[in-house]
Structure 1
Amino acid sequence: MVPQLLAHLNIEHVSVASHSGGDIYLMNLILAYPHLLNPNHPYICFFAPWVHYSHTKMTHLQATGLLPASLIGKMGPVARFINQNVVPLVGLSGTLVQGISTSLSRSSPTAGPVALAASETIEPREPNDGPRDTLYDVALDDPKVVDDLRNHITKFVFAESVDGVSMDTQMFLRRSVPWSTPIVEWEDLDDAVQLLSKTIGEDDRLAGNRRVWDIDCMHAEQDQLVGDKGRDWFNAIWVPSQSYDYKNEVLPGTDHDLLVDPAFGGSEKWLQRVSESWKTSQPVVAAA
């Protein structure tokens, strides 16, 4: 899908990033289509990369190995119920809630918050008003404003269908389909890294391109899904190579879910590095 979308948009090259389980999709993309990256300064970034519980040894995730896939397949309805009924009731954060009965998934979801978006404070427009381009300043330095925004984000996420969460959950736990695609097959992320190093050095589609990729990884300080062992394992698989320059850092005060929140600076660093990678690029002369 990605190559077709980029072709439709007339975009030749990109920089790519992923959050959590998105690292599986990112790996498949760069292994299958490495030539889509900036040829003069290939750059990718991982945020709180997902690591399978066989490496993290996270107890609550190891327990999922005892659950039937059909139960994991109900993750979407359960997540919706928790967000719409349990979270507002007891004031929980959006992190994983354990010990919820499977009967909860049979509860009828409440109406989504979309109707609430039309606040009574918004004045009706007159027919001849014309389009409004008013921009409202949001005080992102105000902790209360940021907390309100986070709550609204969660509401709007669950206003739409979240059935895909169930399929993603099964995949992340390796309970449904393999992580790799038929285009380039690999078993786990450590295998993928070895294949990537080989691809960067040998793939003919990269002829004339820079053969050293810059790879950043930003970890959460408190990661309830990956933990310290998972973070160390992910860093360790990026063994020194002539094909890439891997750097990692831990962002203070962050957790797995909110790592990319602008308040913690990681997303700003990432976008700045993307910008710098394109500023240093020069046009590529096609080989005859």
Structure 2
Amino acid sequence: MTQYSDDRVQDQQPGLESEMSPKPEYHPRFPGAGRLDGGVAIVTGGDSGIGRAAAVLFAREGAAAVAILYKNEDEDAEATLEAIREEGAEAMSLRGDVGERDFCMDAVSKVVERFGRLDVLVNNAAEQHAQDEFEDVSEKQMEDTFRTNIFGQMFMVQAALPHLKEGASIVGITSVTAYRGQDMLIDYASTKGAILSFIRTLAHKLAPKGIRVNGVAPGPIWTPLIPSSFPPEKVKEFGKSSTLGRPGQPNEVAPSILFLACEDASFMTGHVLHPDGGAMVAD
């Protein structure tokens, strides 16, 4: 079994994939089948982790262009752009904070201006801050977590809607914590519950326009959020309590995102997929 490092805990959010040990697995595992042929996608938090894996998989599946939004992880973002281009798609990155509405509006406008369309939006960007005691969760931490995790998804949808046509797809990343909670991540889990409700409500709202809205609720996945959130002893044991006895990899989540984004899921909206290592949840 892979040993997850306990000596490279990071002190900044959302964390750097380039500093992780071992490195997350993001490369697609299978040949592409053209399921996003010619499409244009935006992936928030696309510099690393699940976002990177989804962006690269989209490129392998024939997307004409994939744009990634990221906060400040320049080295990780460059690596993702290179991986997208190696798969044959055009790539674009935009640096900024999805918790700021103006950035979201500007980013979407720049993507559409450059590539002429927008077909898929993946709302993946998130932050989390572990606290042993809920009393220690500051007002600022609450505001930051909600602004990034749920406000950011709402802002991105507002920015994207004028450009999304019938057949377009929105995929929101929620979490197993929305269903089961997590006692060190109360504010984070609460935002993921809000995202779940947002997905389901938005699915009804946009169905008459032919725009599908679905979600993915990962379990313990080895991404930069882990070493940048938890103390060394938690990082070392991360994911071992899952039914499969290990954490998942980003490239084990990306296929769920792809499925919901493409026409394979043409009769699905308002649903959530659960790549979570076997956690029993009520959908």
Question: TM-score band (shorter)?
Answer: 0.3 to 0.5
Higher CA-based Rg: 1
Higher relative contact order (CA 8 A, sep 6+): 1
Q: Normalised by the size of structure 1, how large is the TM-score?
A: 0.33
Q: Normalised by the size of structure 2, how large is the TM-score?
A: 0.34
